[in-house]
Structure 1
Amino acid sequence: MTVAADRLTQAVRQQLGLGRLLPLGGATDGAWITEYAAVGALRRAASAALPGVRLGTVRLALADPATAVPAAVPAPPSALPAGPLRLTADFAATVDEPLPAVAARLRAALWSAGAETLGLDLDAVDLRATALLDGPEAVGSAEAVTSPERPADAGSGAQSGAESGAESGAESGTEDDGSAARVARAVPGVARLAPVLGGPAHAVRIRDRTDEKPGRHTQVQIAVTEGRCALDVTAAVREAVAVATAGGAPGPVTVAVVVTAVDPVGGTAR
């Protein structure tokens, strides 16, 4: 296999591992989160709230694709349009508590983590009990088996390229990309720049449009600190980056933010 083919294969595997790009908030919020990052945060929240429960497959998708609407800013490739989301999950639990009661508490924990902590527009949380566990030891061993594989370059390994580089568009100013990276990192709740879309040097991408609607668009990829509302953090990043990149823009300035990781306090998410 040639080097180019090997890189393409790795990129495809990484993109598949990230899952969908899920909208944060609504059509005007200009923010997305990778399904991988969202599911990881949901798993940790469920584990903290219900240590006797083991989540299996967790999926997030548009509740009704027919009612979804395009984002108000240019969306990243393959990003879902804005619309309410349906969360579906399988779970296994111990026999210490009736399953309906466990399901109710798990649904509340997932809803709180998804809607309040991440900022997902959840329409429903559908759960299915798939197994009974003998005790806490079974939960721990099962989680070790079913935890999702970490995508390549999704964590601190990709950080070195992100912290030092960004890609600007054909017409953007030479200092804009660095300014955008600096102001994005300085926003409270941003753990680091965390590029996984387009390669490790593409944490910030600035593109000047010269078509019939000239303007400047910036895309920023970040990791947020767990416990901070991801939607609020992305709003602050969009505002700061818009100011940093407005100088000399050929028209309106737009910003899209992609959350690619949710880092637990004290360490990078795995």
Structure 2
Amino acid sequence: MTTGDAVRNRLGLGRLLPLGVATDGAWLTEEAAVLVLRTAVQRLPAVTLGRVRVSLADPAEAAAPTVPPPPSALPPGALRIEADFTAPADRPLPTVASELRELLWSTATHGLDLVIEETDLGVSGLSDAPAGPAGHPREKDMTAARPPGGRPAQPQGPAALAASAAPGVAHLASTLGDPVHLASDHIRVEVATAAGHRPLAVVGAVRESVRGALGNDGRPVVVLVTAVGTAEQPAEG
């Protein structure tokens, strides 16, 4: 296990997933992605997610990063969602699986800006509980709504102050170190996004703000999103 893997496992971040495409120069923690997916699935009657993993669909087809990536981040490429779920016994299983597959893909694509190529589902069991009305999370699932991404970090310095003030930033984070890491060949910023803002739009705003604060010194700005706000549904587009 590499040092980066050990750090990510200890902090519970999971994989660092490529956000958008190679030229976007951004990543999203698997922890944040899975939490958003679990929250979305609460809208399906009597469906409970078990294990959820997000990984590269085909590592051989992954592109080379155009900016220095965070430690042990996955290279840019299309992703696969793998999930186990419990379905209600009083509904046709193919119908439930189809609804779940569509919801996971739509949430990951339109809510998280991830490039999803495959969604693999496995049935882990059937529930005798009657399917209640969609849109009302079950009480036992509400604990999944805790915000991930580590404790908020106070901005210090021009770049951090600029990043924290960018549209759509809920707060800076410090999961891999300082919230703004200034290296000789790049700048890495960790942020949590606010509800109602698309992650890639926030990434662009952070990049523009940091470049402006540092006078466009030529270093690429890498953004790691550690949490995604889910209180409001992000607009599609």
Instruction: Please indicate, yes or no, whether the TM-score normalized by the shorter chain is above 0.5.
Output: yes
* Counterpart among 33, 38, 60 of residue 28 in structure 2: 33
**Residue of 52, 71, 92 corresponding to 1:98:** 92
Taking a change above 3 Å as real, the CA distance of residues 12 and 41 of structure 1, as seen in their structure-2 partners, is: closer
TM-score (norm 2): 0.84
Shift of 1:261: 1.0
How far off is 1:243 after superposition? Answer: 2.1
Match of residue 68 from structure 1 = 62
Structure 1 segment 138-149 matched on structure 2, within 5 A: 140=138, 143=141
Q: Any conservation in 1 of the 2:155–2:172 contact (CA below 8 Å)?
A: no
| Alpha-carbon distance in 2 for matches of 1:65, 1:31 | 18
Pairs within 5 Å for 1:168-179: 178-179=157-158
Residue 85 (structure 1) shift: 0.3
Are the aligned partners of 1:54 and 1:142 in contact in 2 as well (CA < 8 Å)? no
Deviations 1:205-232 (CA, angstroms, capped at 9, x unpaired):
11224xxxxxxx2110011123321122
> How far did residue 96 of structure 1 move?
3.0
CA distance in 2, matches of 1:13, 1:127: 24
Cα RMSD (Å)? 2.7
Q: Name the CA distance, whole Å, in 2 between partners of 1:207 and 1:99.
A: 51
Deviation for aligned residue 1:236: 1.8
TM-score (norm 1): 0.75
Question: What is the SS of the residue equivalent to 2:154?
Answer: helix
1:69-218 matches, within 5 Å, as 69-135=63-129, 140=138, 143=141, 154-155=149-150, 158-159=151-152, 162-165=153-156, 178-198=157-177, 202-209=178-185, 217-218=186-187
Residues 117, 227 of structure 1: 8 Å contact kept? no
Larger radius of gyration: 1
Amino acid across the alignment from 1:261: A
133-142 or 107-116: which moved more?
Answer: 133-142
2-side partners of 1:231 and 1:108: how far apart?
Answer: 21
Q: Which runs of 5+ in 2 are unaligned?
A: 1-5, 233-237
Q: Which amino acid aligns with 1:233?
A: V
3-state SS of the aligned residue for 1:253? coil
| Structure-2 change in CA distance of 1:136 and 1:205 (3 Å) | farther
CA contact (8 A) 1:224 1:261 kept: yes
Question: In the TM superposition, what whole-angstrom CA distance separates every residue of 1:54-105 from its partner, at most 9, and x where no partner exists?
Answer: 0010111101101111211111110010000011100001123211111111
Judged with a 3 Å threshold, the aligned counterparts in structure 2 of structure 1 residues 227 and 148 are, in CA distance, closer, same or farther, namely closer
- Match of 1:187, SS state, is coil
Q: Please tell me whether the aligned partners of residues 42 and 141 of structure 2 are also in contact (alpha carbons under 8 angstroms).
A: no
Does structure 1 retain, via aligned residues, the 8 Å contact 2:196–2:229?
A: no
Q: Is the 8 A contact 2:155 2:161 kept in 1?
A: no
Q: What's the CA shift for 1:253?
A: 2.1
Given that 2:51 and 2:83 are in contact with CA atoms closer than 8 Å, whether structure 1 keeps it comes out as: yes
Q: CA deviation at 1:141?
A: 7.6
Distance in structure 2 (CA, Å) of the matches to 1:107 and 1:234: 27
Q: Give aligned pairs, total.
A: 223
Q: Decide which structure has greater helix share.
A: 1
**Cα gap change, 1:116 to 1:144, in 2 (>3 Å):** closer
CA–CA separation in structure 1 for the residues paired with 2:145 and 2:39: 12
Kindly tell me: are residues 255 and 136 of structure 1, through their superposed partners in 2, closer, same or farther at Cα, counting changes over 3 Å?
A: farther
Q: What's the % identity of the aligned pairs? A: 47
The structure-2 alpha-carbon separation of the partners of 1:69 and 1:128, relative to structure 1 and needing over 3 Å to count, comes to same
Report deviation, 1:51. Answer: 3.5
1:45 maps to what in 2? 40
Cα displacement (A) at 1:40? 0.4
CA contact (8 A) 2:171 2:193 kept: yes
CA distance in 1 between counterparts of 2:105 and 2:120 reads 10
